[in-house]
A = this chain, B = another copy of it.
Amino acid sequence: MKDYFCDMKKHQITIVDIAQKLGISKSTVSRALTGHPSVHQQTRERVLKLAEEMDYERNMLSIGLIKNSSLTIGIIVPEFTRSFFPKVIIGAQEKAKAAGYNLIICHSEESYETEVANTKVMLLHQVDGLLISITKETTNFEHLKVFQRKGIPIVFFNRVCEEMVVPKVIVDDEEGAFSAVQHLIKRGKKRVAFLNGPANLHVCKKRGEGYKNALQRNKLQWDEQLLRHYDLDLNTVEEHVNFFLGLQDKPDAIFAINDPTAIEVMRVLKKKQIRIPEDIAVVGFSNDMVSSLIEPGLTTVEQPVAEIGRVAAQLLLDQIKRNIEDWKAQTVILKTKLIQRDSS
């Protein structure tokens, strides 16, 4: 009896089982199941009925094997406890689903090593395309170039790889940062500090440029002490704020690379009884869900988050449909929008 059960566990109901019971060939069963037109109506009904009765489920693995496709696209994000990446994923999923594709998500936890492991998972699962935003540590791109060589399209979003010629979706980071700093200056601030992210990330470089441009445009002195790069570990934000506060000539505004950072900056300032925005104004980037809930409300640069996901997925689906020699490598740059609240 026990052996019987063990065997049962292994044995899947297949089209052959159905075919045998019905005394027809498995091809006919297959055709009936897939809705092929040239099957006798009566045969089809008998197959469908028996399949239902026997709890038959198609084995998509074998189908994927044949078609060399899994109808799945993968997405790798470095982080998702904040609302940014989840919202991108939701946008991407929307487009993918509409095209009949499923989405599998991997989380690289800002670790290069995990990212490489994730790409292996994607390869193993035969994804038809990959969406990715790289980790803060990623400077080697071999694991991603593999996809190109294999003819599996990649689309970058948010954190892109500069050296790879593939579609990318970003926002106008330079313009976004520019408008944030411009706004602060218009509010009367003269010494705007920028707590930037890792210098190797393209997105951070661009925001750095926007920052500098805004200063120049307003003929404000460029002070390199006011631009600091940090590794996105929120625990270290306090040190950086302390550095700013320890300067001979303190900043009167802090622009932060993203909203979580800005919120942490605000927490540190509040703890020190520094008034926001009177003493020091704060501006973030992204318009996270939290930013409207805290006090004072955080002024921030809004990104069309779900749209980033939608566009990225659409570009990927376009690539998937194209032959490899017709691949296009456009970069889509979406607009940002300054959201003014009470922190500035």
Query: Is there an interface contact between A125 and B104, defined as CB atoms closer than 8 Å?
Result: yes
Q: Which residue of B lies closest to A94 (CB)?
A: B109
In the complex with contacts A6-B69, A83-B81, A109-B90, A61-B64 CB distance below 8 A: yes
Q: How far is the CA of A12 from the CA of B55 in the complex (A)?
A: 33
Range, interface on chain A: 35 or more
CB neighbors of B among A96-135 (8 A): 97, 99-107, 109, 114, 117-118, 120-121, 123-126
Pick from B104, B121, B267, B290: contact of A289, CB under 8 Å: B290
Q: How many monomers of this chain does the complex have?
A: 2
A324 at the interface (CB under 8 A from B): yes
Query: Is there an interface contact between B100 and A58, defined as CB atoms closer than 8 Å?
Result: no
Q: Given A61-B62, A70-B125, 10 more contacts at CB 8 Å?
A: A4-B100, A9-B68, A12-B68, A13-B150, A59-B65, A60-B120, A62-B65, A71-B124, A102-B106, A104-B125
In the complex with contacts A3-B34, A120-B57, A324-B125 CB distance below 8 A: no
A158 at the interface (CB under 8 A from B): no
Q: How far is the CA of A237 from the CA of B120 in the complex (A)?
A: 44
Shortest C-beta distance, A283 to chain B (Å), equals 17
CB neighbors of B among A20-77 (8 A): 34-35, 55, 57-65, 67-72
In the complex with contacts A146-B57, A295-B294, A121-B102 CB distance below 8 A: yes
Shortest C-beta distance, A61 to chain B (Å), equals 5
Q: Which residue of B lies closest to A147 (CB)?
A: B55
Query: Is there an interface contact between B124 and A60, defined as CB atoms closer than 8 Å?
Result: yes
Pick from B2, B80, B81: contact of A325, CB under 8 Å: B2
On chain B, the residues within 8 Å of A323 by CB distance are 5-6, 8-9
Query: Is there an interface contact between A71 and B104, defined as CB atoms closer than 8 Å?
Result: no
Q: How far is the CA of A125 from the CA of B127 in the complex (A)?
A: 11
Q: Which residue of B lies closest to A85 (CB)?
A: B86
